[in-house]
């Protein structure tokens, strides 16, 4: 199927960026929002971003002009989608709103059109259920900002067809992006699902009084060599953002429990740097200073703790045929700017070591969710002596 015209629903943080990416990749774009004011703001943001591309020598001024000419705007949904080959929805994260908009898109778009949603967390299957063509509905999860982030998670709902998936992956590549395939719309898809439970475990450990926030961050900085501690980073991005991902997983994964440490802070409005207080206290609202943590606090905590959980969650995605090891590592590296993926790391550490750490964790923390119980795939790999680089085979093969 040839794609020429793309409609983008929403001109907000993600929508304007997606419209720009599509126009820079030479597609005709119509961007739709509910008021002229939002559309104008979206176009201003596109202009600002395009100027940055020119400043950095990544776009010539004449290309920039052509890119802008390819983007039309409208407040009419019908107008936006009536000739679209591909629709990308980036409206607020609200299931009933998305369902209503998908119902309308379905009524006005040509029958061959693919309808993609940029939802961060909602089930594709439930969004697709609002349409008469659920096989044409797919998740296309961009990362923020879409102009710069190379990862796109292509997510299948229960009824998404192979053909729809293939076309979406090809389109992502035409956008100059690196798509990964998530074959089931599990909460968190790949990148967020693999990382969030590990962070939650550490928050349980702190909540239960095993370690202090400073001990965790000190170990992450001074032992693992990360530029920032995980609690300091969470303050920086906003506790409400991390909490919404965790809360969503809790609602949809029967045994998963979010640590009260973050829940209580969010309820008190302590959201991090933007409110002046989160896990650390800042001089004033919005004023960031790096929390000072003495290196001697690094002794007790094992900074690999959240990595063991990431490996475990990833193993379950593989065992259930939801994602491949290559796509999981790619998603984590591109989504979170990591130098190495969790499964590449697992092979280096040794699957036997990972499994024995997970067994220790599961004794104390298995009650907080199935993510904290060792994956049968890891048990199997150990039985088969597929321990990673040391035996020549783990998640990957080594010669």
Site for ligand NAD in 135-174 (CB under 6 A): 142, 144
Determine contact, residues 218/330, Cβ cutoff 8 Å.
no
Of 9-17, 131-139, 232-240, 385-393: span binding ligand NAD (CB under 6 A): 9-17
Of 3-11, 49-57, 63-71, 357-365: span binding ligand NAD (CB under 6 A): 3-11
Give the tokens for residue 267.
């309820």
- Nearer to ligand NAD by Cβ, of 90 and 273: the residue is 90
Residue number of the CB closest to ligand NAD reads 12
Catalytic residue among 16, 45, 141, 259: 141
By DSSP bridging, strand 5-9 and strand 178-182 are: unpaired
Residues 349-388: x/- map of binding to ligand NAD (CB under 6 A)? Answer: ----------------------------------------
Residue 313 phi, psi dihedral angles, 5° rounding? -65, -40
Residue with tokens 């982030």, as numbered in its chain: 149
Residue of the chain from 49, 67, 120, 307 that contacts ligand NAD (CB under 6 A): 120
Residue of the chain from 6, 9, 155, 201 that contacts ligand NAD (CB under 6 A): 9
Does the annotation count 153 as an active-site position?
yes
The overall longest dimension of the chain from CA atoms, in Å, is: 64
- Nearer to ligand NAD by Cβ, of 100 and 367: the residue is 100
Please report how close the Cβ of residue 39 comes to ligand NAD at its closest, in angstroms: 9
Which pairs count as long-range contacts for 214-217, CB under 8 Å and 24+ apart, including other chains?
214/291, 214/293, 214/294, 214/297, 215/297, 215/298, 215/299, 215/300, 215/301, 216/301, 216/303, 217/291, 217/293
Does the annotation count 141 as an active-site position?
yes
Cα distances (angstroms) measured from residue 126 to each of 48, 99, 130, 142, 313: 36, 8, 7, 19, 24
Q: How many residues of this chain bind ligand NAD (CB under 6 A)?
A: 21
Residue 155 phi, psi dihedral angles, 5° rounding? -120, 130
Q: Is 185 in the site for ligand NAD (CB under 6 A)?
A: no
Catalytic residue among 120, 306, 312, 375: 120
Residues 20-49: x/- map of binding to ligand NAD (CB under 6 A)? Answer: ------------xxx---x-----------
Please report how close the Cβ of residue 74 comes to ligand NAD at its closest, in angstroms: 10
- Nearer to ligand NAD by Cβ, of 142 and 231: the residue is 142
* CA–CA dist 377, 393 (Å, integer): 14
Q: Is 119 in the site for ligand NAD (CB under 6 A)?
A: yes
Does the annotation count 120 as an active-site position?
yes
- Nearer to ligand NAD by Cβ, of 91 and 298: the residue is 91
* CA–CA dist 181, 165 (Å, integer): 8
Least Cα distance to 328 among 183, 225, 120, 173 occurs for: 183
Q: Is 188 in the site for ligand NAD (CB under 6 A)?
A: no
Site for ligand NAD in 83-112 (CB under 6 A): 90-93, 101
Q: Which parts of this chain interact with ligand NAD (CB under 6 A)? A: 9-15, 32-34, 38, 90-93, 101, 118-120, 142, 144
Catalytic residues: 120, 141, 153, 192
């Amino acid at each position: 199927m040839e794609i020429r015209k793309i409609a983008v629903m929403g001109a907000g943080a993600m929508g304007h960026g997606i419209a720009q990416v599509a126009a820079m990749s030479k597609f005709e774009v119509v961007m739709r929002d509910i008021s002229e004011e939002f559309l104008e703001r979206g176009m201003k943001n596109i202009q600002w971003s395009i100027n940055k591309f020119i400043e950095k020598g990544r776009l010539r001024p004449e290309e920039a002009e052509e890119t802008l000419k390819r983007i039309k705007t409208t407040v009419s949904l019908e107008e936006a989608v009536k000739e679209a080959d591909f629709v990308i929805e980036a409206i607020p994260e609200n299931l009933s709103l998305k369902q209503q908009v998908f119902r309308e898109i379905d009524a006005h778009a040509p029958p061959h059109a693919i309808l993609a949603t940029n939802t961060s967390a909602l089930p594709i299957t439930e969004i697709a259920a609002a349409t008469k063509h659920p096989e044409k509905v797919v998740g296309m999860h961009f990362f923020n900002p879409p102009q710069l982030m190379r990862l796109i998670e292509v997510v299948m709902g229960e009824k998404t067809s192979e053909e729809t998936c293939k076309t979406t992956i090809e389109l992502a590549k035409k956008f100059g992006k690196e798509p990964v395939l998530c074959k089931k719309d599990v909460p968190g898809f790949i990148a967020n699902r693999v990382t969030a439970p590990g962070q939650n475990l550490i928050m349980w450990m702190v909540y239960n009084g095993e370690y202090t926030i400073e001990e965790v961050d000190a170990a992450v900085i001074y032992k693992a060599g990360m530029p920032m501690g995980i609690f300091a980073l969470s303050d920086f991005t906003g506790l409400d953002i991390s909490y919404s991902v965790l809360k969503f997983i809790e609602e949809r994964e029967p045994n998963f429990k979010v640590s009260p440490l973050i829940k209580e802070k969010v309820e008190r409005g302590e959201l991090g740097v933007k409110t002046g207080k989160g896990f650390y206290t800042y001089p004033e609202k919005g004023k960031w200073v790096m929390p000072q943590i003495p290196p001697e606090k690094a002794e007790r905590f094992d900074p690999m703790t959240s990595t063991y959980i990431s490996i475990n969650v990833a193993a379950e995605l593989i065992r259930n045929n939801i994602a491949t090891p290559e796509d999981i590592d790619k998603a984590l590296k591109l989504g979170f700017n990591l130098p190495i993926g969790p499964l590449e790391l697992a092979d280096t550490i040794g699957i036997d070591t990972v499994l024995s750490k997970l067994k220790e964790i599961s004794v104390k923390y298995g009650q907080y969710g199935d993510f904290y119980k060792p994956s049968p795939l890891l048990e199997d790999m150990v039985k088969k002596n597929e321990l990673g680089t040391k035996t020549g085979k783990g998640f990957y093969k080594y010669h």
